[in-house]
């Protein structure tokens, strides 16, 4: 593999990382919006059954993409914990 192709791949990493940041920002905004609705409707922030159902869906989807299940669990656990933190503010 040439240095040029490594450089090209690194540029692709940078573009994807930027997309990830944008998507995470959008998700955090949704966490703020759902917090407002949950408070208005007296719904608890942490709903374990919904979280588990959503995670299982993501797990099934990840299999088709060859994403490591342990990696996915760690990633979505962090994302979910951040959503709960935002909602409790």
Of 44, 41, 47, 40, residue with least CA distance to 88: 44
3-state helix/strand/coil string of 48-66: HHHHHHHHHHHHHHHHHCC
Of 45, 54, 56, residue with least CA distance to 83: 45
Judged against a pLDDT cut of 90, whether residue 82 lies above it is answered with: yes
Question: What integer is the mean pLDDT of 42-52?
Answer: 95
Judged against a pLDDT cut of 80, whether residue 53 lies above it is answered with: yes
Tens digits of residue pLDDT in 8-28: 999 999 999 999 999 999 999
User: Is 25 in a helix, a strand, or coil?
Assistant: helix
Tens digits of residue pLDDT in 2-11: 877 999 999 9
Q: Quick one: what percent of the chain has pLDDT higher than 90?
A: 94
pLDDT of residue 28: 98
Q: Which domains does the chain have, with CATH numbers?
A: 3-88 (1.20.59.10)
Question: What integer is the mean pLDDT of 46-69?
Answer: 95
């Amino acid at each position: 593999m040439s240095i040029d192709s490594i450089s090209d791949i690194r540029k692709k990493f940078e573009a994807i990382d930027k997309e990830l940041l944008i998507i995470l920002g959008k998700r955090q905004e949704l966490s703020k919006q759902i917090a407002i609705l949950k408070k208005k409707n007296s719904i608890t922030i942490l709903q374990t059954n919904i979280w588990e159902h959503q995670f299982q869906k993501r797990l099934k989807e990840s299999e088709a993409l060859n994403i490591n299940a342990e990696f996915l669990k760690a990633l979505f656990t962090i994302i979910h914990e951040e959503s709960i933190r935002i909602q409790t503010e």
